[in-house]
């Protein structure tokens, strides 16, 4: 929720993880191994979608924020990100979701 707010200004309740993608460290040593987690945060209203903006504090990490149809991802996202988003959309369409946990216990998603 913190990252979403910091990068878009959106405050959403995160209810489930849709997919977890392990990312190896870069060969040139510029980034460490980690995970990208795509989460379920509900559906935005039209007003919320229009209000999404890239905060100044996120400009060092992101160049823009915009809405893109899943079918158009190949024109704007690198292949690994496109595959990650499509896998999460597929999981969502089939109701495949992982509840959030904190220290081994179901997390309060409120």
**DSSP bridge pairs for 22:** 35
Tokens of 72: 């158009």
Tell me, what DSSP letter sits at residue 98? B
> Residue 109: what pLDDT?
52
Quote the Cα angle for 11-53-22, to 5°: 65
Q: Which residues contact 67 (CB under 8 A, 6 or more apart)?
A: 49, 52
d(CA 91, CA 106): 20
Backbone CA torsion sign across 52, 65, 10, 40: positive
Question: What pLDDT tens digit does each residue of the chain (110 aa) get?
Answer: 888 888 888 889 989 999 999 999 999 999 999 999 999 999 999 999 998 888 888 888 888 888 999 999 999 999 999 999 999 999 999 999 888 888 888 877 54
pTM, 2 dp? 0.77
């Amino acid at each position: 929720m913190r990252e979403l707010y910091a990068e878009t200004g959106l405050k959403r309740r995160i209810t489930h993880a849709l997919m977890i993608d392990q990312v190896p460290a870069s060969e040139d040593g510029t980034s460490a191994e980690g995970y990208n987690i795509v989460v379920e945060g509900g559906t935005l209203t039209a007003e919320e979608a229009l209000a999404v903006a890239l905060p100044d504090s996120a400009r060092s990490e992101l160049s823009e924020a915009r809405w893109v149809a899943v079918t158009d991802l190949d024109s704007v996202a690198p292949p690994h990100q496109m595959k990650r988003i499509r896998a999460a959309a597929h999981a969502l369409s089939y109701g495949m979701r992982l509840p959030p946990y904190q220290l081994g216990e179901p997390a309060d998603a409120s």
